[in-house]
């Protein structure tokens, strides 16, 4: 990086995603295997399907695309996370309550930091699923444990003052100069590396008995990326190739099944965390070698974003079991069907070589968010112990408003963002055609190659 260059938020975001990926690849070798296999799968899909493979994102976007996951302990910590990600044009989107989505002990609520504008997403869609511990939830923590946990969390520092100051400057100035950008990226990457400080054994094990997730968050004095997920264009093929390489994946691909109709939302699969050597400080002050399983591997395929109606169908279908038969009863088997039934989000596009005024095509909007049941499944598949949960106790109320207050920023609603993309595309198309946006009909007929009469000229 040279001193005179200036790095805009998206450039910081793209560089950060690369830097994290390099760090993770050095530290978690199976992740490198996953990246290699993902690249092979994507190259094969592009070769086989041509332009059609890029309908839900260019191959450049998909190749660079990652999501990460982190877990923090306090509202103050998630506010700091928001400053670091805010510098990179990543904003909190959505609210996920994992406490009920999981049968084992997962005492967190979550949001995802990601770009929200179409152009920004196209430049680099890096997103981070961010979970926040709920120490006041009596189903998991006694009053005494809550108090000790909060004291421990209150006394640690996840992000140093230099990193936060650079983050604030980047947000205020719309980017950073070369030297500052390099420092910011180095400090931000370090903040998410696994710490080699000895772990307080008694404290960690006490929390682990309640919840492995609680121990991962509150049993150590730092945070870490716990997985980094590439995107693939054919997750069934990837699954088979990983197994063939001797890497045991979890039993299932989470989310929708493989079927002949359009891919919607998100399909994910993972391999279990590998035991990594860690040092522990015992109650008698000895430092001993042991291991912890906290970093794992995940991969995902993204489909079309669903409207609230589409999502309601998805939620009803997934509890019946995500089989192709259930899907055939639930969803139309064409994109046109999704449009006609108001189930999916599609934009209005004026083709570059439009046949004439009024010619419109539609393009599907890719799902940029997460799914609570799948997320719970990902958490669950990586827990060594179930932990303990006393369902007779009342949980602590948490919702999107609470999360917005904790983060101290606007929390975007995913549905609003998709709907806004549709509206913006409609206005753009109307302006190009010189007609009133209200006069545009949904381009619902035919497939991609066919056009439909947009304006009543």
Neighbours of 91 (CB within 10 A): 22
Name which of residues 265 to 304 contact ligand OOG (CB under 6 A): 268, 298
The dihedral region occupied by 321, where left means phi > 0, alpha psi between -120 and 50, and beta the remainder, is: left
List the x/- string, 239-268, binding to ligand OOG by CB under 6 A.
-----------------------------x
Q: Which of 11, 17, 56, 71 touches ligand OOG (CB under 6 A)?
A: 71
Answer yes or no whether residue 129 interacts with ligand OOG by CB under 6 A: yes
Nearer to ligand OOG, 204 or 346 (CB): 204
Cα dihedral: 301, 306, 309, 310 (round 10): -40
Tokens of 436: 């009133």
Answer yes or no whether residue 348 interacts with ligand OOG by CB under 6 A: no
Nearer to ligand OOG, 41 or 225 (CB): 225
Name which of residues 159 to 198 contact ligand OOG (CB under 6 A): none
How far apart CA 346 and CA 366 sit, in angstroms, is 9
Q: Which of 21, 74, 124, 226 touches ligand OOG (CB under 6 A)?
A: 226
Nearer to ligand OOG, 271 or 370 (CB): 370
Nearer to ligand OOG, 296 or 345 (CB): 296
Residue ranges in 219-289 assigned as alpha helix (H): 235-244
Q: Which of 375, 411, 430, 433 touches ligand OOG (CB under 6 A)?
A: 375
Q: Minimum distance from CB of 159 to Ni ion (Å)?
A: 22
Residue written as token pair 């500052």: 180
Nearer to ligand OOG, 69 or 181 (CB): 69
- Partner in contact with 7, chosen from Ni ion, ligand OOG, none, beta carbon below 5 to 8 Å by kind: none
- Partner in contact with 33, chosen from Ni ion, ligand OOG, none, beta carbon below 5 to 8 Å by kind: none
Name which of residues 381 to 420 contact ligand OOG (CB under 6 A): none
Answer yes or no whether residue 378 interacts with ligand OOG by CB under 6 A: yes
Give the binding-site size for ligand OOG (rule: CB under 6 A).
12
How far apart CA 54 and CA 357 sit, in angstroms, is 26
How far apart CA 310 and CA 344 sit, in angstroms, is 6
Answer yes or no whether residue 33 interacts with ligand OOG by CB under 6 A: no
Residue 242: CB partners within 8 Å, gap ≥ 6? 33, 34, 37, 249, 271
User: Which residues in this chain contact Ni ion in the complex, by CB under 5 A?
Assistant: 69, 229, 298
417-to-96, 310, 365 alpha-carbon distances in Å = 17, 16, 11
Tokens of 179: 């030297």
- Count Cα atoms within 13 angstroms, Cβ side, for 391: 4
- Partner in contact with 16, chosen from Ni ion, ligand OOG, none, beta carbon below 5 to 8 Å by kind: none
Answer yes or no whether residue 211 interacts with ligand OOG by CB under 6 A: no
Helix (H, G, I), strand (E, B) or coil at 457: coil
Helix (H, G, I), strand (E, B) or coil at 222: coil
Answer yes or no whether residue 367 interacts with ligand OOG by CB under 6 A: no
149-to-7, 143, 451 alpha-carbon distances in Å = 39, 10, 60
How many angstroms from the chain centroid is the CA of residue 260?
26
Q: What residue number has its CB nearest to ligand OOG? A: 375
Nearer to ligand OOG, 109 or 429 (CB): 109
- Partner in contact with 374, chosen from Ni ion, ligand OOG, none, beta carbon below 5 to 8 Å by kind: ligand OOG
The dihedral region occupied by 455, where left means phi > 0, alpha psi between -120 and 50, and beta the remainder, is: beta
Q: Minimum distance from CB of 112 to ligand OOG (Å)?
A: 9
Instruction: Answer whether 112's CB lies under 8 Å from 93's CB.
Output: yes
Helix (H, G, I), strand (E, B) or coil at 39: helix
Nearer to Ni ion, 15 or 69 (CB): 69
Nearer to ligand OOG, 234 or 298 (CB): 298
**Closest to 183 measured CA to CA, from 206, 163, 208:** 163
Residues near ligand OOG, by CB under 6 A: 69, 71, 129, 131, 226, 268, 298, 370, 374-375, 378-379
């Amino acid at each position: 990086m040279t001193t005179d260059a200036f790095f805009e938020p998206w450039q910081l975001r793209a560089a950060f995603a690369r830097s994290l990926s390099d760090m993770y690849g050095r530290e978690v070798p199976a992740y490198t295997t996953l990246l290699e296999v993902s690249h092979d799968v994507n190259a094969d899909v592009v070769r086989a399907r041509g332009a059609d493979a890029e309908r839900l994102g260019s191959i450049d976007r998909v190749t660079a695309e990652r999501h990460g996951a982190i877990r923090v302990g306090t509202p103050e910590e998630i506010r700091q996370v928001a400053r670091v990600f805010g510098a990179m044009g990543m904003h909190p989107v959505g609210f996920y309550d994992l406490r009920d989505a999981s049968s084992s002990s997962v005492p967190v609520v979550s949001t995802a930091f990601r770009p929200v504008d179409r152009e920004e997403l196209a430049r680099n869609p890096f997103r981070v699923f961010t979970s926040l511990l709920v120490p006041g939830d009596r189903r998991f923590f006694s009053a005494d444990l809550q108090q000790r946990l909060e004291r421990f969390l209150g006394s640690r520092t996840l992000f140093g003052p230099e990193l936060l100051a650079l983050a604030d400057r980047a947000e205020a100035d719309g980017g950073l100069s070369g030297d500052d950008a390099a420092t910011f990226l180095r400090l931000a990457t370090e903040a998410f590396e696994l710490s080699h400080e000895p772990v307080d054994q008694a404290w960690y094990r006490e929390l682990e008995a309640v919840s492995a997730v609680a121990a991962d968050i509150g049993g150590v004095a730092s945070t870490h990326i716990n997985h980094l997920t590439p995107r693939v264009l054919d997750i069934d093929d990837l699954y088979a190739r990983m197994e063939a390489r001797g890497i045991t994946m979890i039993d299932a691909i989470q989310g929708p099944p493989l079927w002949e109709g359009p891919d919607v939302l998100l399909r994910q699969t993972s391999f279990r965390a590998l035991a990594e050597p860690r040092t522990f400080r015992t109650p008698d002050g000895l430092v001993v070698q042991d291991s912890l399983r906290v970093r794992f591997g995940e991969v995902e395929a993204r489909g079309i974003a669903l409207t609230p109606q589409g999502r309601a169908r998805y939620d009803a279908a997934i509890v019946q079991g995500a089989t192709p038969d259930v899907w055939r009863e639930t969803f139309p088997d064409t994109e046109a069907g999704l449009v006609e039934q108001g189930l999916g989000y599609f934009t209005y596009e004026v083709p570059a070589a439009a046949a004439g005024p009024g010619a419109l095509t539609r393009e599907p909007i890719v799902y940029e968010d997460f799914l609570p049941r799948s997320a719970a499944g990902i958490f669950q598949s990586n827990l060594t112990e179930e932990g303990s949960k006393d369902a007779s106790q009342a949980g602590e109320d948490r919702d999107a408003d609470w999360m917005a207050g904790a983060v101290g920023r606007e929390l975007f609603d995913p549905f609003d963002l998709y709907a806004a993309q549709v509206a913006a595309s409609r206005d753009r198309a109307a302006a190009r055609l010189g007609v009133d946006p209200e006069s545009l009909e949904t381009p619902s007929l035919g497939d991609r190659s066919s056009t439909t009469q947009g304006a009543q000229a």
